[in-house]
Every structure is written in structure tokens, then in C-alpha cells.
């Protein structure tokens, strides 16, 4: 069947999980006050990183990583940092990969929720990606904070690809005041990064890109499951804070890259399990709607069966994921240093 361009964005839950409460007395989000949108001057494609045509066809877009863009005004930065500090007490360990992270923030801050769901920002990101996108249908992936480690021998975040497809990384603290701790990405593919890891080699320095962020409130936009990246080690103690917000493509023909096993190790299961089910059901609903609207008259049973299987495949994946009794496993490359 022909591609139907748009799925309907999933609605945000209308109730809070048990034990979660919104901050009191925080400013109301106002896009006219808190945003200052400036597009990046250039972007790289997956082709630029060395991905093949077959690999790219499985993705929703050939986009890989942007130049630096601006998202927040000075007032937006001030409020967001205040929010991050107010919520820091809820941070937890991200295991071996990252020492301190904070997820589920959109269930604790109305300001953050409204920023992450803002239609203006979604339109802005759609322009950068070159495809229509919406805020991620797993709210745990909205407004995720990373904090600096206590131990300077640890990377802020080790070399990895993201557990989701589309996202941005924002500097919430002032990057001009930190020594080390740069956001970096690898000018290459996931396969190459794995080969470097397997051969116990270092990441080649001439293929490590360290974009310059002019200040807080600036972002870099990624197809995060395809771009190998990290937060480097700080050389001096600094309260480095970044925020990640994730998006989903509204097209129906790319496979879902989201990894359940990784987030199972860090997220509260009473949030993750229902969110995962809703996410996968939403994907299948879009495909079922397309099938209902566009399935042609035909006696080709194989075609019909194939379309039905494709439409429910995401729900079947969710059932399989939720049936697993293990605790999950994080997938990342490590420090890649000698």
C-alpha cells in the first residue's frame, strides 16, 4: 500500500502516576517568553557518516546530526535550570554508563511538560529533520536530565547510541564555564564503533567532533540511535546539566528503533510498562488505520495477511518485551580510550 504521511500524535496521559506531584509556584510556560528559535546553519546526513543505502532506507530520514541551533531565550534558560535544580533530588544512577540521570520529569514539572510538548518546538524540529515529528509517545523520554558525575575519572556519558530515534541534546548549564565535558559525536557508523570496541582500540581523534555551544539553551539535533556520541570527562568539577527531549516520526513506514531492554534497567516499571504498551499500541493503531482506509480490493490473501501482520507487529513486540522476566541490559560502547 502507498505510504500514508501522517499518524495522529498520541495524547499525554491525563493522570499522574502514583507518588508523582507537580512543583508548586513554578512559572507557567509561555512560548513567546521562553523560546528563541534559531535554525542550525548546516546538518549532516546518514550518508555523510558512512551508512549504506539499505541502512538508511530503514530509517525515517537520512538526517543524522545538526549544527548548533538555539531553542531557549535567556529567561527560558533561567527557568529550566531552576526546574532542573528543584528536581535534582529525584535523580538516580544510570548504571555503568552514566552516574546521575533524571527521568519522568514531565510528571513533576508543568513547565517542563509544556516545553517538551510545545507545538512550536515540534514544528521547529520537523523543519530540521525534514519530516513531520511529534513529542515522543513514551513520556519518560521527554525532558530527561543528565548531571555531572562526582568522579572526574568517569565520562559524563560514555560512547553510545540512544534508546530512541530522534532527539536533541540541550546545554542547560553554561558550557563556556566548564573545563572538559564536551558533547562529542563520532564521524562514522555504529558498526565502526563496535569494531573499535571489539579490537580494544581508541576512538580515532580525527573523527571525533566537538561542536561549540555558544551558551545555555542551545541544542544539537540527532537521529540518536544512528549517531554514536558521548559526554566527555570533565577536567575540573562543574555542575554540568544537559536535557534530552525525544520525538517520534509521524510517518508509518519506518521501523521503531526504541530499545526496551536498556530503559528497563533504569526506569520505574510502573511507569515504563504501561508507557511501552501505549507507545506500541499507538504505532499499531496508525498502521491499522492505514490498512482500513487503503487496503485495495484483491483476492491476494498473502498481501492481506502481510499487511495485517505488519499492522500488529509492534503490539506483538510489546507483548514479547513485557513477557521477559530479566532485568534488562544496557548497550553502549564504553570509553573507547587506551
User: Cα separation of 166 and 170, whole Å?
Assistant: 14
Q: pLDDT value at position 338?
A: 61
Kindly report, residue by residue over 125-159, the tens digit of the pLDDT: 999 999 999 999 999 999 999 999 999 999 999 99
DSSP structure class, residue 109: -
Kindly report, residue by residue over 238-253, the tens digit of the pLDDT: 999 999 999 999 999 8
User: Cα separation of 159 and 332, whole Å?
Assistant: 6
Do 111 and 82 touch, CB atoms closer than 8 A?
A: no
Do 107 and 16 touch, CB atoms closer than 8 A?
A: yes
pLDDT at residue 337 is higher than 90: no
In whole angstroms, how far apart are CA 11 and each of 184, 232, 326? 33, 36, 30
**Continuous segment of H or E residues that includes residue 72:** strand 63-72
Q: Which CATH architecture has domain 31-252?
A: Sandwich (2.60)
User: Cα separation of 8 and 137, whole Å?
Assistant: 11
Retrieve residue 28's grid coordinates: 507557567
Domain chopping of the chain, boundaries: 31-252
Kindly report, residue by residue over 199-237, the tens digit of the pLDDT: 999 999 999 999 999 999 999 999 999 999 999 999 999
In whole angstroms, how far apart are CA 256 and each of 253, 280, 283? 9, 9, 9
Kindly report, residue by residue over 71-117, the tens digit of the pLDDT: 999 999 999 999 999 999 999 988 889 999 999 999 999 999 999 99
Over the chain, what is the mean pLDDT?
95
Which of the four pLDDT bands, split at 50, 70 and 90, describes residue 2?
A: very low
User: Cα separation of 283 and 290, whole Å?
Assistant: 11
Amino acid at each position: 500500500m502507498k505510504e500514508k504521511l501522517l499518524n495522529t500524535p498520541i495524547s499525554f496521559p491525563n493522570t499522574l502516576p502514583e507518588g508523582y506531584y507537580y512543583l508548586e509556584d513554578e512559572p507557567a510556560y509561555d512560548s513567546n517568553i521562553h523560546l528563541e528559535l534559531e535554525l542550525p546553519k548546516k546538518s549532516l546526513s546518514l550518508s555523510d557518516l558512512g551508512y549504506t543505502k539499505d541502512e538508511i532506507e530503514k530509517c525515517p530520514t537520512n538526517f543524522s546530526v545538526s549544527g548548533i541551533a538555539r531553542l531557549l531565550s535567556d529567561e527560558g534558560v533561567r527557568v529550566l535550570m531552576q526546574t532542573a535544580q528543584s528536581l535534582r533530588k529525584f535523580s538516580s544512577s544510570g548504571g555503568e554508563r552514566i552516574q546521575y540521570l533524571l527521568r519522568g520529569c514531565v510528571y513533576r514539572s508543568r513547565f517542563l511538560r509544556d516545553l517538551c510538548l510545545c507545538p512550536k518546538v515540534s514544528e521547529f524540529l520537523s523543519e530540521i529533520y525534514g519530516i513531520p515529528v511529534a513529542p515522543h509517545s513514551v513520556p519518560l523520554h521527554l525532558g530527561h536530565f543528565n548531571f555531572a558525575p562526582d568522579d572526574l575519572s568517569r565520562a559524563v556519558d560514555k560512547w553510545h547510541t540512544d534508546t530512541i530515534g530522534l532527539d536533541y541534546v540541550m546545554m542547560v548549564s553554561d558550557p563556556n564555564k566548564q573545563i572538559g565535558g564536551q558533547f562529542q559525536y563520532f564521524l562514522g557508523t555504529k558498526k565502526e564503533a563496535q569494531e573499535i570496541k571489539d579490537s580494544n582500540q581508541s576512538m580515532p581523534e580525527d573523527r571525533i567532533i566537538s561542536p561549540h555551544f555558544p551558551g545555555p539553551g542551545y541544542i544539537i539535533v540527532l537521529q540518536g540511535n544512528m549517531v554514536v556520541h558521548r559526554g566527555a570527562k570533565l577536567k575540573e568539577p562543574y555542575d554540568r546539566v544537559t536535557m534530552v527531549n525525544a520525538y517520534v516520526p509521524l510517518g508509518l513506514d519506518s521501523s521503531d528503533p526504541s530499545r526496551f531492554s536498556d530503559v528497563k534497567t533504569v526506569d520505574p516499571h510502573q511507569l515504563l510498562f504501561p508507557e511501552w504498551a501505549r507507545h506500541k499500541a499507538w504505532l499499531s493503531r496508525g498502521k491499522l488505520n492505514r490498512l482500513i482506509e487503503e487496503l485495495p480490493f484483491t483476492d491476494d490473501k498473502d498481501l492481506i495477511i502481510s499487511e495485517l501482520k505488519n499492522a500488529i507487529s509492534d503490539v506483538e513486540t510489546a507483548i514479547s518485551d513485557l513477557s521477559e522476566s530479566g532485568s534488562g541490559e544496557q548497550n553502549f560502547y564504553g570509553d573507547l580510550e587506551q
